[in-house]
Structure 1
């Protein structure tokens, strides 16, 4: 099992590592005999200068840049930077004059003492720009994720009304026939509603639950149609799908579509449903006979279910699914290949 370390902790650790190396550099590359000097610069002085550079870096990055580097206070930014960098020069000179007077005789080291203040400032500017860009990208990703989440919730909310519309139409048909199957159909509908209301609130559900839901829906349709419609089903065994999860109610629109358009307008209606799983790849096929007359099977709600599921697939399984819809009389054949998790 891999452990993901938060980016913020990695950044803090990297800062500590870099400044620690710089502070201890004289003691890593030199020895006590030379007072841990790097050239003409004593080790202790080098470490004190690093502390001043740390102050320049973080005062600029954490105070001056976020407070003044904007359209409102940009005119204060330059004076603040000049004070910050310029203030480091007399501080460094005071340390040299009071604690390391021998260094005053080595004019060649002055450029290695004073110039880095300017260099550290520019490094701090680059750091701030990079942080701003990363922060902007993260905000954009959060907005995109929120937008996708909102769109997904909307698509999910469409499933239940669409499902209920189709099922209630089925129950009306049973009621008109005064069928004895109406009561068991209502009980079965109750079980389906329980699944929709309580088991599909999370991000994903067990594939076994989704398959059980499909089987219940198909059983409900069998109660309605009896022997008038030939229904062939093959579902993967529970052992083959026990550990996989799937977006809830992702498969039902294909089955709904088959019963809606493959039972009322064609002689000898037949519906074939097949679901298999192999090496974490789900293959779901639904085929039904249909009437090729373009005026016979169209209504204002046609295509809602399939359009919905196509949008959800693009949001939830980008690059992890293949959807094939073949309409070739007399068969309408849908094949979904999906990489499971």
Structure 2
């Protein structure tokens, strides 16, 4: 499976819209929290009426303090790294909350303001510590949820950006076929038309088929392997006309090509490389050997060409063939899992070899 396929599947789950917090989510969260808290304290004190009254007073304070922290204090002081100011303001808010909650509980619910602890009707240090830490727990819990959702949304956006960049780069690499080939082919067609050769219509038809493949197949992430091989054969037929009898090409195709898929225009640069760095720079007889075999789920693609007689050209070839092979290497890295391919480039017996094993 392609890496960008995996990213796309991931993004279907982690869409930025999916992590958007709506008013509905706020209402559901606080409703569930209120219900659980009411049941908890009602069970502890065996007095659900008292639990409902205290929570009706406490929860508006929880909500106000939580949202004030999330949407005002943190953006202005935490995200700007004013931590001391933030800490002082949080303590001040908790103290104000303490005074409000004490008075509301005392005058509206019960003079015993701390039913969960020692009975008291005054603002003691013990009451202040228990109440402020309890409020801090609620604020921290709500803030943690908000931070987690924000992180998931930003992480999803980052994946979306990486996926877009990856897709753009892959499309660019798929469309990179040497323009020199088209210029040379057009020159060949021009020469054939001047000679009124019967080969001209055939060359134009093959070039048309190749260009059609380039225009439409490269829009897809995967293409039928058979179509890719047909494209290679058209390419080779056009180059045969260009080099005539000076070029010997042996091509063998075996295995079951049906229902196999490959990244479009992945193999053509390997063939093009043979002509660009082999045939075009040789003097005398030239030889290109191509073997294509499909065994189970793997394609074995082996291509070799005569090494240029010029020593400098040979160094170019053994370094990787320039843009063509670099393009293929990059596309394999971006488009396939590391375990799904093996690419070998080497020189042997005066021939330059490229061997590719690819999962299809």
Which TM-score applies when normalising by structure 1?
0.74
Q: Which residue does the alignment assign to 2:133?
A: 115
Partner of 2:99, secondary structure, is helix
- The answer to whether the Cα contact below 8 Å between 1:92 and 1:114 also exists between their aligned partners in 2 is no
Deviation larger for 199-208 or 173-182: 173-182
- 1:66 matches 2:85: no
Q: How much has 1:201 moved relative to structure 2?
A: 2.7
Distance 1:14 1:329 in 2: 70
Distance 1:100-1:163 versus aligned 2 partners, 3 A rule: farther
Give the structure 1 partner of residue 311 of structure 2. 294
* Residue 328 of structure 2 is aligned to residue 309 of structure 1: yes
CA distance in 1, matches of 2:191, 2:347: 28
Q: List gaps (5 residues or longer) in structure 1.
A: none
Cα distance in structure 2, aligned partners of 1:282 and 1:174 = 37
Q: Deviations over 1:102-146 (max 9, x none)?
A: 533645383544422223344455556656655665565555555
2:347 & 2:187 partners in 1: Cα distance? Answer: 25
Say how many residue pairs are matched: 333
The residue aligned with 2:123 is none
Pairing 1:40-189 to 2, within 5 Å after superposition: 42-46=51-55, 48-50=57-59, 52-71=61-80, 77=86, 81-82=90-91, 84-101=93-110, 103-104=112-113, 106=115, 108=118, 110=127, 111-123=129-141, 137=155, 141=159, 144-159=162-177, 161-165=179-183, 167-168=185-186, 171=189, 179-189=197-207
Relative to 1, partners in 2 of residues 1:5 and 1:132: Cα closer, same or farther, differing over 3 Å? closer
SS in 2 for 1:115: helix
CA shift digits 1:256-290 (9 cap, x unpaired): 11233443527653323233344543332212333
1:285 matched residue in structure 2: 302
Is 1:206 aligned to 2:217, yes or no?
no
Higher-RCO chain (CA-CA 8 Å, sequence separation at least 6): 2
TM-score by length of 2: 0.71
Contact 1:49 1:92 in 2 (8 A): yes
Aligned residue in 2 for 1:34 = 46
Whole-angstrom CA distance in 2 between matches of 1:50 and 1:7: 32
**1:288–1:333: 8 Å Cα contact kept in structure 2?**
yes
> Which secondary structure does the structure 2 equivalent of 1:196 belong to?
helix
CA distance in 2 between counterparts of 1:277 and 1:83 reads 73
Aligned residue for 2:122? none
Q: Is the 8 A contact 2:57 2:105 kept in 1?
A: no
Q: Secondary structure at the match of 2:311?
A: coil
CA distance in 2, matches of 1:328, 1:177: 41
Map of 1:328 onto structure 2:
348
Q: Which runs of 5+ in 2 are unaligned?
A: 1-8, 120-126
Shift of 1:325: 0.6
Alpha carbon RMSD of aligned pairs, Å?
4.3
